[in-house]
Amino acid sequence: MKKLSAVVFFFVLVAAIGSSVCMAQQLPAPKTEAVFPGVTSVLYAGETFVFTTTVKLSAKFEWIGGNQIRIQVRTSSTPRQGMELAPGQALRIYWEDEDETLYDGTPPSEWSGIVLTEGGFTEK
């Protein structure tokens, strides 16, 4: 009887360790999205980000540990030397889950921010 209980305990222990290892490997993978003019919603790591833009963008989302998501945005075409974006072009990045505007203004050639999913936004 002692051998049987030891074997059962061993299998329960292996199952518990195996399931915890599998759960630890379920971190969100980095994700890059093409964002076209208009309104685009992107779901990443259970959070919803809404882009309202007049220009094409590339948005990269990356889980950087703990409760932090890094968002990097680049305009798809960078203005040539001496040229600027046309007047009236705009970009708004809205974090729907926290009802918070992350960016609102003229589309930059590059922008980066860190979202603290438990505490709010930190611009970088």
What pLDDT is attached to residue 88? Answer: 77
The token pair that represents 89 in the structure block: 């072009």
Whether pTM > 0.85 for this model: the answer is no
Question: Is the backbone of residue 112 left (phi > 0), alpha (psi -120 to 50) or beta?
Answer: beta
Confidence of residue 11 (pLDDT cuts 50, 70, 90): low
User: Can you tell me whether residue 56 is helix, strand or coil?
Assistant: coil
Do strands 47-53 and 120-123 pair parallel, antiparallel, or not at all (unpaired)? unpaired
pLDDT digits (tens, 9 = 90+) for 12-51: 666 666 554 454 557 889 999 999 999 999 999 999 999 9
pLDDT digits (tens, 9 = 90+) for 85-116: 556 789 999 999 999 999 999 999 999 999 99
